[in-house]
Structure 1
């Protein structure tokens, strides 16, 4: 039985490494970036930047947040740093910014629920993009932290014509989504072009939170949440899924 096609939907700059890893394992990949990374509609206020510089903790939610932060602050902050996800941690290490802790689960949910997590107190600066991460803010505030979210980037949806999507749908690929924005953009394209079959494909997402969102958006296919959004976790999940279907 031939290995399935895998449709990767992350921003273009983040697809190549994953595609190379999957193809080395025998999978055929297709790239369809559904979002691009852009500067925020408004740059962070100077007052928020000064507040962050005095914070006790910085939490980075993605490699995009790391890239954006490094354009504002050329050197590492005094705050201790938490990186959500291995890719985020790797990007920080590449910038020679020390990482105090990375949640083993690689998601915001694991940050809040992991028993090995450091005790967060004082000021917490959440370095993120627009949208989402409300749960982190609410729970940290409930624990007594003073939290501010700095919007360092935004995702912008990329549109495709039906003529570009149909050949990909004919392959019946497994879909991979790393963000809620990508899920929403795919669902919007399927609705706009009346391509209902696009919501019936096997789908892997980066967290249980995204699994729930996919259901809300009308995905009726088999859904699996990765334990963490990494190439290792993705390859393991694909191998298990492929083996189960044989």
Structure 2
């Protein structure tokens, strides 16, 4: 069995409480009876992508083992790489990685467009993803990115989703070992399907999106709602997901 914790949208530095929310998540994970095999963080680790924010982030996440990171639209590629100790010949290029676990492969794809909030898979990233999935065809694969490739019916986030989902579909449909797509961005624990593949969106750590049918007011998010986390369980090629709200 592979057990993953999945968090997203930490926005460290956005407010005085952002660090406290991350601490609550870390404390919860450290107290689990069975440690997770890895912690996947699908973007927007920082609020503005500064050195100081990433230094704080590194300190906050330091107690966790087996961190798997991908950037979001609030992150800065080279600053994130430098702060978290990742070395790349092209420090400003897409932050793509793959991680082989005992029984699965976790592939993180950079869906960010520097300077913009919406997402896009570059041709280089798509080519790399295709080759990586082919190399890992003997095990189930989870593809991770910040921007969901399918609408979640939250207008303020849907307009800032992945701009070229058809190009991604062309790649993932060639590989029957893709069992799920893990995303963030929407600040809402949610699930959808993308060409038959489950799309699982982690709840926000920094805040929770207010759904259009929940409020009469023009508010996008609730900063007082507690942070959340997703657990993905993979066994015998089958994926199950559980969501938790962290209240202390």
Under a length normalisation based on structure 2, what TM-score does the superposition of the two structures give? 0.32
Between structures 1 and 2, the one with greater helix share: 1
Under a length normalisation based on structure 1, what TM-score does the superposition of the two structures give? 0.32
Q: Report which of the two structures shows the higher radius of gyration computed on alpha carbons.
A: 1
Between structures 1 and 2, the one with greater strand share: 2
